[in-house]
Chain A
Amino acid sequence: MDKKYGVYICTGCGIGEALDVEGLSGIAEENGMPVKTHEAVCSEAGRQVIKDDMANDGVNIPVICACSPRVWKEEFNFGEGTITVRANLREGVVWSMEKPSEERSQEVINEFTNELAQDYMRMACTQAKKIDIPEASQQETTNRRILVMGGGIAGLTAAREAAKAGHDVLLVEKTDKLGGKALGWRKQLPTKAPWSSLEESSIQELVSAVETDSRITVKTGTEVARVAGAPGDFKITLKTTGTRTEWDAPFRVTVDEQDKIEKGEMEDPNQGFRPYTEGNPDAEVVGAVILATGWVPADVSEFEHLGHGKLANVVTNAEFEKLAKEGKVPANVAFIQSPGGEDNDKDFPYANSVTSMVALKQAGYVREDNPDGKAYILYQHMRTPGNMELFYKGAQNNDGIFMTKATVTGVEEEGGALVVKAKNTLLQEDLDLQVDMVVLGAGMRPTTADASTINLSYRQGPGFLDLELFDGYADSNFICFPYETRRTGVYTCGGVRKATDMVETIDDACGAALKAIQCIESSDRGVSVHPRSGDNSYPEFYFQRCTQCKRCTEECPFGALDDDEKGTPLPNPTRCRRCGTCMGACPERIISFKNYSIDMIGSMVKAVDVPDDDEDKLRIVAFVCENDAYPCIDMAAMRNVSLNSLVRIIPVRCLGSVNMVWIKDAMSSGMDGALLLGCKFGDDYQCHFVKGSEIADKRMANIGETLGSLGLEPERCAVRQVAITDYDKVSDVINEFIDEIMELGPNPFKGF
C-alpha cells in the first residue's frame, strides 16, 4: 500500500497557547510529512481540510495532533483505505500540565511540557510510518445455525428467539423430554401484572411452540460429545445420553503431563478418544453455541444444625416442590433462608434472589392447602427484585404467612414435631417455632461447576477455565460482560449463568440469542465480536521463525490458538478477541497486527528523545492499558490534575500485549524506567481480557531478573494496577514510581 501522510496540529482547546506549535510542525517536517495547523481540527471546517488533502493529494494516513484518541473517534474516521493516527496533545499534555512548584518554575515547566509534546509528535509520526491498514480476515464459510444446549426454560426461549430472528436452531436436550426443571413445578412465579399471585405453569406452551417451529430441530436423549472448530464454523458431535464415544472431548493434557505420557510414566487419559484436532466428518455444523444446561439443587449437608438428612420432615425447597405437586403439604411449615446461624448472615450457597421468591411461592402452597395453614419465613435477606416486590407484598398480605429476619441456630425434634430455634428476630424475642416441616432454601448450582459441560475440543481443554473464581459459573466478567464466557461463540443463559427466576431466565435467554447472532455476523465479516467489537485487525504469525515454544497457545486467555503435533500454533481468527496477549508472549516477536505491531510500538519507544546529559530530564515510558487506565488518565486531565511531564505514555490494547522487547528497547535507548499501568488482576480481576494484566505482571517480574543480570535495577520496571475510577489517584501512582526512579538515579547506560 502506498502511504501518504498528512499531519494536522490543532491549536484549539489551549494547545496553541501552551505549546510551541512551530517547533511541533518542525518535527513533522523532519519526518518528511506535510503539516497544517487549524484552530479546531475536529470542526466541520477542520475535517474538511483533511478530506480535501485526501481527495487532492491522496493522503491516507492523517496524523491528528489534538485531543485524546478516545474522543471524536467517529469524526476522525475517514473510512476504508485510511487510518488515523492520533497524538494526544490536549489531555496528554496541555490539560494535565504541571503547576509551578518549588521544584519546577513556570519556565522549567514550559520547557518540559514542550519536550513532552515534541516526543508525542515524534511518536505519532513514527507510528504513522509503521502502521498498516488492516484487512478483515476472510472466512471460507459462515454457518448461521445456532446450537442450544439444554431444553429448559432458558434453552427453549433462546431457541425460539433465535428462530424468530431467522436462524436455524439445533436444540439438544439430554433427557428424553423438553421442559427441564419447570416440569416439576406445581405453580410458577408470576410473570405478568399484577405480579401478586402464583400462575399455572406455562412450560407446556413453550415446549409446543418449540416443537412446532420449523426452524428448530430438537434432539432429546442426546448430549454434545464435543464442540470443535470456531465461531461461524463449529463442528458438533452428538451422542446418546450417558454413552462414551471416541468423539468425546479429550481431557486437557499439559506439556509436563505429555512428557510423562511419552515416557510411559503416566497413563494417557485420552486413550480411545480422537485427538482434539481431528475433525469429525459427520459432525453437525453451527455458527454459535448457547449453553443453557441449567442447574442442580445445591447440597445442604454441610449445615448439620439444620438436620437435613437426619430429621424426617426437614427438606430442601426442591424436595418440597415435589411434595407440593403431589399434594402433601402440611399445615405448619418453616422456611429457612440463611443457614449461617450466628456466624454469618449469608443465604444458602447459589441462592441469589431466587430462594427468597421460591419460599414465598411455597408458603403460598401451605396456605392454599390448609385453611388454618401457617407458613413462617425466617430470612436474613428477603430479595424480591423488580416487579417481584409486588409478589412479596401479595405474600405478606396473606394472614397465615409470617416473616421475620432471624438467625436460625438450629432445628430439633421434640415430641414428634420439629422446633426451629431463631434468635435476633424482629419480634425482639428469641423464638421456638413448632412446625410440621422445615424447608431449606437451597440454591441453584450451575452444571458447569461439576463438569466441563460444553465439551470443547480445544488445545486448552474441554471446559471453561478458572471457574473456581466464580463458584463454578462460566463467566468472563460478570459485571462488564454478562453473557461472555471465556470461549468466543459460547454464550450462557439461565441457571447455568446465574441463579435466576423464570422472568429473568427468559430475558437472559433472549440476550444470549442476540449475542450468538452478533457473534455469527461478526465472524462472517471477519471482525472481532467482543470486547473490541468490529475490530478488523487480527494477529498474524510469521511461522518461518516459530520455535514451537507454545507460549502463545498456553497464554491465550480465550483458547483461540490450537496447535499441531509439533506445537506450531493454529490460529482461529473467529475465536480471537484481538487483545494481543499472544503478541506479548512471543519471544521471537513473530506475532503482530497490521495496525499494532512489535515494530510499531518498539519504534515509538525509540522515537522518544532521551537527553543524555541532564539528570533532571529523566525519561519514563508508560505502557497504559487503553481499557481502563488510559481513560482514567484522560479523566484526571479533564479534572485538571497534573501529570508528571517526564512520562511518555503509549496506549496498549491490554497489558498482556506488552512484549518485553519494548522494555529492552526503552532501557537500551537510555530511558530510566518503564511502567505498566493496567487493570486489577487476581481473584477480583478487572482485566477486559481476563488474564492480560496478570500475565504482564509475571513477565515483568522475569524481565526484572534479566535487567538485574545486566547491572540494571529491577525496580526500573513495574506494573501498577489502576481502576477506571482511580482518576484521583493515578497521578500519584505515577509520581511515586518516578520518585523511586529518581532515587535510583539515571539509567547508567544512558548515552551508550
Chain B
Amino acid sequence: MSEGMKVQPDLEFIKYLKNAGGDTLKKCYQCATCSVVCPLSGDDKPFPRKEMIWSQWGLKEKLVADPDVMLCHQCGDCTTNCPRGAKPGDVLGAIRAYAYTHYGFPQGLAKLCSQGKNLPIMILIPTLIIGIVWWLSGGMKLPDGDINFGYFFGDAYYVLPVTTLLIQLIFVPTLLFAIYAFYRGISNMWKGMAAQLPATERNFRPSVTQFISEFIWPSVKEIMTHKRFNECGTNRNRVTGHMPLVFAFIALLAVTAYAMIRKDVFGLFIEGLHVPLTFADPFKILANVAGIALIVGVGILWVNRSRTERENNTTPTFYDWYPIGIVMAVGVTGMAAQIFRLGDVAVMAYLLYFMHLVSVFMLFLYTPYTKLAHMFYRTFAMAFEKYRASGYVQKQD
C-alpha cells in the first residue's frame, strides 16, 4: 500500500489560531462556498477551503508553506459568504500572523511581537535605548534659540557635533537589522514553499536579474496599482485607505533619506545645511503631503477595521491593531512635533520628537514580525507564485 501523509495534528497550533482571530475555524464544514467566491481559488486548489481543513486538523507545516495564504489580502468575500460563520478570511489572517512569527529571525524577537501583552516591553526597548543615548549625549535639555531637531542629541558646535550622528548610530543598524531579519524570514518561507512543490519542479534557480525582472518587479507593479484589491467585493473601500498609505510610506522613506543625506552627510561639511528644510522646499512639501496622506490613510483603515469588528463580529486582535497603532503613532508624533516646533513650544516639541523617534524605531525593528511584514512576505509570495507558474519551473522534468 502506498504511503500517505503522516498526520500529526498540532493542538497548540489550533489553540494559537483560535486566539489570534481564527476562533471560528472549527465551524467550517467544507462546503466550498469560499472557494467559489475567492478569485485566488483554482480548479485543483480549492482555496481557502483546503486551508480551513488544514487549520482544523492543526497542520501547521503545510499552512506556513502555502503561498496562497500569503497571497490572500483579506478582501473578506469568503467571510461574508460563509454560510456557517467560519470566517475563512480571519482564519487566514491568523495563519499569516503565525507564519510571521514562525519565520521570524531572531525567534525571541518574533515571539515578543506576537502578543499584545508584550507591548509595554516593545515600547520600553526603544524608549530606553533612545532615552539613555539622549541622556548620555547631553542633549536632554532645552537648547537656546530656534528649535532644531538636528541638535536633539547635543548642541556643542563646530561644524556639527559628533553626537548629532548618534541618530544614525541608532537607526541605520536597526534598519539593516530589520532588512537582514526579512531576508532570513523570506528565504525560510521560500524554501518551505519550494519544498511543497513536486520533486520535479524544485530544481530551477533563476539568475538575480531574471528573478528581479520576471518575478519581483511584476509583483511590485501589481501591488502598486492595487490590482487585486479591486477584485474584492466586501472590503473594496480598503483601497482608499491602503493606497495613500503605501505611497506615503514610499514618499516618507524618500524624504527621510534625502533629509538625512542633506543634513547629516553634506551638513557635516557645509555650514547651514543642518537646519530644517524650508516650507517651499519640494521635499518638504512632499514630506508634509505624505505625512497627511499617512495619517488620513491609516485613519481610514482604523475606521474600516472598527466597523468590520462591529458589523461582522470579528474578534479584535493585537496582530491587526498593532500596525494601525504604530503607523498612526509615527504620523501623529511627527506631525505634532513639527507643529509645536513652528509654534515654538519647545518642551512639547522635543518631547513629541522623542516619541516620534521611539515610534519610528518600533516601526523599523518590529516590522518583520508583525502584520506590516506582509509588505515583503506577500511580495515574495506573489513572486513565488509567478515563479511556480512560469515556464521555467513547469518545463523541468
Contact = CB atoms under 8 A, between A and B. Distances in A.
Contacts of B7: 427, 431-434
A426 B14 contact: no
Contact of B57 (A405, A410, A423, A427): A427
A423 B1 CA distance: 11
A427 B54 contact: yes
Interface in B1-38: 1-9, 11, 14-15, 18, 26-27, 29-30
A427 B53 contact: yes
Interface string B166-177: 000000000000
B50 A427 contact: yes
Contacts of A427: 5, 7, 50, 53-54, 57, 59
B59 A399 contact: no
Nearest to A373: B11
B26 A421 contact: no
A404 B53 contact: yes
Contacts of B3: 430, 432
- Best-surrounded residue of B3, B11, B56 (most CB of chain A within 10 A): B56
Interface in A413-450: 421-423, 426-434
Contacts of B56: 402-403
Contacts of A399: 11, 14-15, 18, 26, 58
A670 interface: no
A400 B11 contact: yes
A432 B6 CA distance: 5
A398 interface: yes
B249 to A, nearest CB: 38
Contacts of B6: 432, 434
A372 interface: yes
A735 interface: no
Nearest to B54: A427
B11 A429 contact: no
Contact of B1 (A402, A421, A426, A433): A421
A162 B119 CA distance: 68
A374 B53 contact: no
A725 interface: no
A243 interface: no
B29 A421 contact: no
Contacts of A101: none
A426 B56 CA distance: 11
Contacts of A400: 9, 11
Contacts of A642: none
Contacts of A398: 26
A431 B4 contact: yes
Interface string B31-55: 0000000000000000000100110
Contact of A426 (B2, B15, B53, B58): B53
A372 B11 contact: yes
Contacts of B9: 374, 400, 402
Given A402-B9, A426-B53, A432 B4 contact: yes
A431 to B, nearest CB: 5
A402 B57 contact: yes
Q: Which of A410, A426, A431 has the most CB of B within 10 A?
A: A426
A433 to B, nearest CB: 6
A345 B9 CA distance: 26
B27 A428 contact: no
Contacts of B30: 405, 426
Contacts of A374: 9, 11
Contacts of A397: 26-27
A676 B11 CA distance: 67
B27 A396 contact: yes
Contacts of A403: 56
A603 to B, nearest CB: 64
A412 B1 CA distance: 10
A409 interface: yes
Contact of B5 (A402, A412, A432): A432
B255 to A, nearest CB: 49
A409 B1 CA distance: 9
Nearest to B8: A434
A160 B355 CA distance: 78
A395 to B, nearest CB: 9
Nearest to A430: B4
A410 B2 CA distance: 11
A428 B50 contact: yes
A31 to B, nearest CB: 67
A42 to B, nearest CB: 49
Given A427-B54, A427-B59, A396 B5 contact: no
Given A402-B57, A428-B50, A410 B1 contact: yes
A414 to B, nearest CB: 11
Nearest to B44: A428
Interface string B58-76: 1100000000000000000
A422 B4 contact: yes
Most chain A CB atoms below 10 A, which of B7, B15, B59: B7
Interface string A369-399: 0001010000000000000000001001111
Nearest to B28: A396
Contacts of B1: 409-410, 412, 421
A689 B12 CA distance: 61
A93 to B, nearest CB: 53
Contacts of B5: 427, 429-432
Nearest to B45: A428
A596 to B, nearest CB: 55
Q: Which of A399, A422, A423 has most chain B Cβ within 10 Å?
A: A399
Nearest to A409: B1
B14 A421 contact: no
B90 to A, nearest CB: 16
A416 B195 CA distance: 31
Nearest to B50: A428
Nearest to A434: B6
A429 B27 contact: no
Chain A CB count within 10 A is highest, among B4, B8, B11, B26, for B4
Nearest to B84: A393
A6 to B, nearest CB: 63
A396 B29 contact: yes
Interface string A271-315: 000000000000000000000000000000000000000000000
Contacts of A409: 1
Contacts of A426: 30, 50, 53
A390 B395 CA distance: 50
Contacts of B8: 434
A570 B319 CA distance: 85
Nearest to A399: B14
A403 B59 CA distance: 13
B46 to A, nearest CB: 8
A430 B29 contact: no
A404 B50 CA distance: 11
A430 B2 contact: yes
A374 B9 CA distance: 8
A396 B26 contact: yes
B336 to A, nearest CB: 46
B337 to A, nearest CB: 48
Contacts of B59: 427
Nearest to B17: A399
A375 to B, nearest CB: 10
16 contacts: A372-B11, A374-B11, A393-B27, A399-B58, A400-B9, A402-B56, A402-B57, A426-B30, A426-B50, A426-B53, A427-B50, A427-B54, A429-B5, A430-B2, A430-B4, A432-B4
Given A403-B56, A422-B4, 17 more contacts: A374-B11, A393-B27, A396-B29, A397-B26, A399-B14, A404-B53, A409-B1, A412-B1, A421-B1, A427-B50, A427-B53, A428-B50, A429-B5, A432-B5, A432-B7, A434-B6, A434-B7
A-B pairs with the 6 shortest C-beta distances? A430-B4, A432-B4, A429-B5, A397-B26, A431-B4, A399-B14
